[in-house]
């Protein structure tokens, strides 16, 4: 046996490479056999008592990432806009009083009767940042008559107060601004003239308050009129647009904003496959005027027409023109009146360009600088004529129908110091409130859309401390409130009578507002 081992060892020394390969192969075969046996045992183990095989999570697979790439790029520039509008309540609606109860007025005021202070209506919408300094495009109807505008950025818990730079009722566009302590991400606006029916698009916004929602669809139609106002010609899309999407961007596959989502056709208030976005070419023109002048000025020559009636082929034949817009009225004293245009004239060209639609007539005139002229070719009694007209301000020619700039509600700081109104807490009042052992001031009114409402004050609360300083009387309250300055953190210790007839100790805190919307 020893001799055989020595011979084997001698043989291995003479053939080192071959021997090494032999050992490696032997080990490899052993590992494979062990793995198969182990795998079989594991498979047997993975089958449960019911005979079912346990599921395993596969490795993630990356498919087409075009949508996700655009969403990641544009998402940070899309914001959520929440607004509050304060409305006065109608008078009346009193609760019947208990006869002979001298304190009923007090209980009516704090517990039983409805609050007769102004009401607040809240709404949600979207917007898109187009300037790193905080300028945001949105719809006018999102911020219309808002007392307070708050803007939430993607991934940022801070709510920024927004102020209105300008708005345009005719296109339903508005520009607001927020002041942040950094440069903000922006979205690039593209040229909507390049989009085609059938192109893929994404709609980004906050439908029903669900931030950073992305939906996909295609361009269903272009230049869609007779949906909104005279100066609204929409891009139609079947990308899901719902309440809350208003003011958000419609984005092409190059990651450019080619529209601002504005409206939907629906019978149920929800999405039914027909949404409308204002084209970026219109948006850019309106935005530039709003940030420059705070308003939009449009030119006019002072005529009235109805596009649908001008599409009548029989009418066009009888008037001796293949196409055009029929003038139905001429405003006295307008450029058209001074140039001799009359009802029944058919305008066929503006600045050498054919007029096939109302937009072909209105847009070049509206975009002309006030005081400059346009060349108008028209047909009267089947005879062609041409005249130069000086463009005037549309709002002055048609003051009765001009969408006058509506004053925004006063949004200066409230006389009650951040919307909080208080009175001295007398011993008799504290006893009736069930807080006889508590000193402080009682809250008599909390104004809607105010800092006090934001931190959750309620009528009947008793403020006992401000920033850890005891409040024993009204003068203490005024002294401590007078020390507060914008941006400072403030803590209120409050006693509140609960529904279960217990007195709760609450701590209400927030940062004193640095700026209110305006």
What's the per-residue H, E or C state across 76-120?
HHEEEEEEEEEECCCCCCCCCCCCCCCCHHHHHHHHHCCCCCCEE
- pLDDT (0 to 100) of residue 124: 85
Closest CA to 441 of 415, 400, 413, 469: 469
- pLDDT (0 to 100) of residue 255: 94
- pLDDT (0 to 100) of residue 179: 92
Q: Which residues pair with 161 in a beta bridge?
A: 150
- pLDDT (0 to 100) of residue 271: 74
Read off the pLDDT band of 118 (50, 70, 90): low
- pLDDT (0 to 100) of residue 449: 75
Measured at the alpha carbon of residue 248, what is the angle toward residues 243 and 250, in degrees to the nearest 5?
110
- pLDDT (0 to 100) of residue 392: 94
- Does pLDDT of 170 surpass 70? yes
- Does pLDDT of 139 surpass 80? yes
What is the mean pLDDT of the segment spanning 387-399? 91
Q: Do the beta carbons of residue 425 and residue 441 sit within 8 Å?
A: yes
- pLDDT (0 to 100) of residue 212: 86
- Does pLDDT of 422 surpass 60? yes
DSSP notation for 49-83: TTSPBPP-PPPP-----HHHHHHHHHGGGEEEEEE
What is the mean pLDDT of the segment spanning 240-264? 93
Q: 189: which DSSP letter?
A: B
Residues 15-51 as b/e (b if ≥16 CB within 10 A, e otherwise) read eeeeeeeeeeeeeeeeeeeeeeeeeeeeeeeeeeeee
Q: 153: which DSSP letter?
A: -
- pLDDT (0 to 100) of residue 359: 84
- pLDDT (0 to 100) of residue 517: 34
Other beta carbons within 10 angstroms of residue 92's beta carbon come to: 6
What is the mean pLDDT of the segment spanning 444-453? 84
- Does pLDDT of 400 surpass 50? yes
- Does pLDDT of 313 surpass 70? yes
Q: Is 172 a catalytic residue?
A: yes
| Winning range, highest mean pLDDT, from 173-187, 223-237, 263-277 | 173-187
What's the per-residue H, E or C state across 17-34?
HHHHHHHHHHHHHHHHHH
Q: Do the beta carbons of residue 165 and residue 175 sit within 8 Å?
A: yes
What is the mean pLDDT of the segment spanning 209-217? 91
Give 444: exposed, middle or buried? Use CB within 10 Å, 0-12, 13-18, 19+.
middle
Give percent of the chain with pLDDT exceeding 90.
45
Q: Is 393 a catalytic residue?
A: no
- pLDDT tens-digit profile of 35-63? 555 555 454 455 567 888 898 888 877 66
The phi and psi torsions of 171 (rounded to 5 degrees) equal -110, -5
- Does pLDDT of 138 surpass 90? yes
- The CATH superfamily holding the domain 300-394 is PDZ domain (2.30.42.10)
- Domain ranges in the chain? 2-46, 65-91+100-295, 300-394, 420-511
More confident position, 61 or 186? 186
Q: Is 45 a catalytic residue?
A: no
> How far from each other are the two terminal CA atoms of the chain, in whole angstroms?
104
Provide the token pair at 127. 């917007």
- pLDDT (0 to 100) of residue 75: 93
- Does pLDDT of 79 surpass 80? yes
Q: Hey, do 300-394 and 420-511 end up sharing a CATH topology, with the first three levels equal?
A: yes
- pLDDT (0 to 100) of residue 23: 60
What is the mean pLDDT of the segment spanning 436-456? 86
Specify the CATH number of the domain 420-511: 2.30.42.10
Question: One of 82, 126, 141, 300 is an active-site residue; which one?
Answer: 141
Strands (E), 334-461: 346-350, 353-354, 373-380, 383-390, 392-393, 420-424, 441-446
DSSP, collapsed to helix, strand or coil, labels residue 158 as coil
Task: For residues 321 and 391, give the distance between their C-alpha atoms in angstroms, rounded to a whole number.
Answer: 25
What is the mean pLDDT of the segment spanning 436-461? 86
- Does pLDDT of 454 surpass 90? no
Tell me how long the chain is. Answer: 518
Task: For residues 465 and 506, give the distance between their C-alpha atoms in angstroms, rounded to a whole number.
Answer: 11
- pLDDT (0 to 100) of residue 402: 58
Question: One of 108, 170, 172, 238 is an active-site residue; which one?
Answer: 172
Question: One of 206, 246, 310, 334 is an active-site residue; which one?
Answer: 246
Provide the token pair at 226. 């007779």
Q: What is the mean pLDDT of the chain?
A: 82
Q: Which residues pair with 47 in a beta bridge?
A: 53
Beta strand 299-300 with 303-304 is: unpaired
DSSP, collapsed to helix, strand or coil, labels residue 432 as helix
Q: Do the beta carbons of residue 242 and residue 206 sit within 8 Å?
A: no
- pLDDT (0 to 100) of residue 315: 87
Strands (E), 228-324: 234-237, 249-251, 257-264, 275-279, 299-300, 303-304
- Does pLDDT of 458 surpass 60? yes
Read off the pLDDT band of 101 (50, 70, 90): very low
- Least confident span in 36-50, 122-136, 503-517: 36-50
Residues 240-250 as b/e (b if ≥16 CB within 10 A, e otherwise) read bbbbbbbbbbb
Provide the token pair at 90. 């109608």
Q: Do the beta carbons of residue 83 and residue 163 sit within 8 Å?
A: no
- pLDDT tens-digit profile of 365-378? 998 999 999 999 99
Alpha helical stretches, state H, 294-406:
307-310, 313-319, 335-338, 358-366, 394-397
Inter-axis angle of helices 16-46 and 2-14, to 10 degrees?
Answer: 100
Q: pTM for the complete prediction? A: 0.66
- Distances in Å between the Cα of 239 and the Cα atoms of 30, 131, 215, 260, 275 are 59, 26, 6, 13, 7
Provide the token pair at 174. 């508005």
Task: For residues 365 and 389, give the distance between their C-alpha atoms in angstroms, rounded to a whole number.
Answer: 10
Fold of domain 65-91+100-295: Thrombin, subunit H (2.40.10)
- Least confident span in 133-137, 189-193, 397-401: 397-401
- Does pLDDT of 22 surpass 80? no
Half-sphere exposure of residue 434, counting CA atoms within 13 Å on the CB side? 15
Provide the token pair at 395. 């709002």
Provide the token pair at 420. 């909080």
Q: Do the beta carbons of residue 229 and residue 170 sit within 8 Å?
A: yes
- pLDDT tens-digit profile of 190-199? 999 999 999 9
Task: For residues 429 and 401, give the distance between their C-alpha atoms in angstroms, rounded to a whole number.
Answer: 55
- pLDDT tens-digit profile of 466-496? 999 999 999 999 999 989 888 788 999 999 8
Provide the token pair at 159. 């709510």
DSSP-based helix, strand, coil % in the chain, nearest 5:
25, 30, 45
- Does pLDDT of 310 surpass 90? no
């Amino acid at each position: 046996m020893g001799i055989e081992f020595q011979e084997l060892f001698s043989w291995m020394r003479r053939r080192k490479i071959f021997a090494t390969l032999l050992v490696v192969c032997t080990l490899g075969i052993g590992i494979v056999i062990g793995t198969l046996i182990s795998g079989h045992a594991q498979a047997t183990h993975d089958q449960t008592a019911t005979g079912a095989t346990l599921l395993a999570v596969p490795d993630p697979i990356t498919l087409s990432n075009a949508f996700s790439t655009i969403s990641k790029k544009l998402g940070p520039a899309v914001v959520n806009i929440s607004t509050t509008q304060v409305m006065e309540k109608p008078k009346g609606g009193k609760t019947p009083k208990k006869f002979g109860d001298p304190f009923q007025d007090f209980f009516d005021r704090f517990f039983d009767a409805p609050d007769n202070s102004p009401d607040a209506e809240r709404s949600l919408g979207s917007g898109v940042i187009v300037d790193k300094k905080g300028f945001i495009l949105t719809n006018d109807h999102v911020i219309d008559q808002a007392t307070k505008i708050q803007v939430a950025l993607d991934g940022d818990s801070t709510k920024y107060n927004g102020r209105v730079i300008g708005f345009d009722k005719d296109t339903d566009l508005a520009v607001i601004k927020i002041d942040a302590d950094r440069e903000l991400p922006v979205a690039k606006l593209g040229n909507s003239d390049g989009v085609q029916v059938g192109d893929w698009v994404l709609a980004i916004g906050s439908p029903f308050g669900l931030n950073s929602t992305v939906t996909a669809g295609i361009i269903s139609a272009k230049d869609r009129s007779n949906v909104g106002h005279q100066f609204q010609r929409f891009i139609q899309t079947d990308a899901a647009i719902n309440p809350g999407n208003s003011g958000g961007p419609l984005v092409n596959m190059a990651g450019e904003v080619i529209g601002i989502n504005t409206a939907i056709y629906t019978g149920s208030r929800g999405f039914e496959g027909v949404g409308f976005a204002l084209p970026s070419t219109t948006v850019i023109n309106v935005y530039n005027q709003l940030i420059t002048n705070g308003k939009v000025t449009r030119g006019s020559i002072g005529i009235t027409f109805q596009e649908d009636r001008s599409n009548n082929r029989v009418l066009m034949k009888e008037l001796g023109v293949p196409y055009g817009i029929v003038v139905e009225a001429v405003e006295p004293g307008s450029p058209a009146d001074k140039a001799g245009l009359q009802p029944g004239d058919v305008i066929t060209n503006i600045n050498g360009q054919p007029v096939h639609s109302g937009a072909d007539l209105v847009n070049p005139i509206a975009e002309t600088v006030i005081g400059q002229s346009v060349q108008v070719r028209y047909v009267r009694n089947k005879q062609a004529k041409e005249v130069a007209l000086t463009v005037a301000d549309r709002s002055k020619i048609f003051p009765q129908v001009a969408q006058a700039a509506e004053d925004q509600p006063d949004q200066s700081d409230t006389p009650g110091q951040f919307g909080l109104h208080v009175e001295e807490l007398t011993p008799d009042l504290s006893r009736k409130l069930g807080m006889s052992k508590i000193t402080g001031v009682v809250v008599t009114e909390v104004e809607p859309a105010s800092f006090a409402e934001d931190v959750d004050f309620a009528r009947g609360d008793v403020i006992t401390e401000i920033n850890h300083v005891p409040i024993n009387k009204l003068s203490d309250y005024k002294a401590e409130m007078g020390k507060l300055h914008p941006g400072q953190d403030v803590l209120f210790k409050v006693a509140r009578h609960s529904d279960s007839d217990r007195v709760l100790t609450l701590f209400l805190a927030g940062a004193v507002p640095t700026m209110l919307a305006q």
